[in-house]
Amino acid sequence: MDNKSIEIIYLEKEIKVVGLSYKKLGLPEAVESLEKMWNTYGEKYRNKVENSVVPLVDYGISACILTDKHEYIAGCEVSKIGTLDEHWELFVVPTGKYIKYAARDIGTIFKDLENVRSWANENKLTIYGDFEVEVYPQGAFEGKDVDVYILLPVQA
């Protein structure tokens, strides 16, 4: 493997993600906003999310991609939904079939996303839904040698 992989997986249990909301923070839809949001989450909130699952895995959720209500959430998985701060949002990643694209480097994930979509078309897989899930295992933001990945929902 050249530090990248693509596979089809089946998510057997939903993932409840609670985190900072793009919109609730009043940030404009821009790459700079994402960086600011992740920094704020990491510095002030990462270890304070009520009922967070251990080991801590960070999630970036791009939701409502196909609408004018686009939302981005930077957060972590929770075992149950607790009190949500005014800047927090909940997103539930449903069970189902997903394309899992993994790489050792965060930047690679986003550069190759169009290639992953082309791979899906070539393999007669229809990406559906209007969300994408970025997964950052513990250590990903500290430069540790872990795979980060994106999950794209596909029709079963």
How many Cβ atoms are within 10 Å of 11's Cβ, its own excluded? 16
Is 82 within 8 Å of 50 (Cβ atoms)? yes
- Length reported for the chain: 156
Is 154 within 8 Å of 8 (Cβ atoms)? yes
- This prediction has a pTM of 0.90
Is 20 within 8 Å of 40 (Cβ atoms)? yes
Res 119: pLDDT: 93
3-state DSSP assignment of residue 39? helix
In a 13 Å sphere around the CA of 14, the CA atoms on its Cβ side amount to 10
| Domain 4-153 part of CATH 2.60.40.10 | no
Res 66: pLDDT: 60
Res 115: pLDDT: 87
Domain residue limits, the chain: 4-153
Res 98: pLDDT: 97
| 12's tokens | 């057997």
Res 2: pLDDT: 53
| 127's tokens | 């990406």
| 41's tokens | 């989450």
Is 101 within 8 Å of 150 (Cβ atoms)? yes
Res 1: pLDDT: 37
**Weakly modelled stretches of the chain, pLDDT under 50:** 1
Is 61 within 8 Å of 17 (Cβ atoms)? yes
Q: Which residue do the tokens 């990248």 mark?
A: 4
CA distances in angstroms from 64 to 26, 49, 73, 128, listed in the order given: 17, 23, 11, 12
Res 99: pLDDT: 96
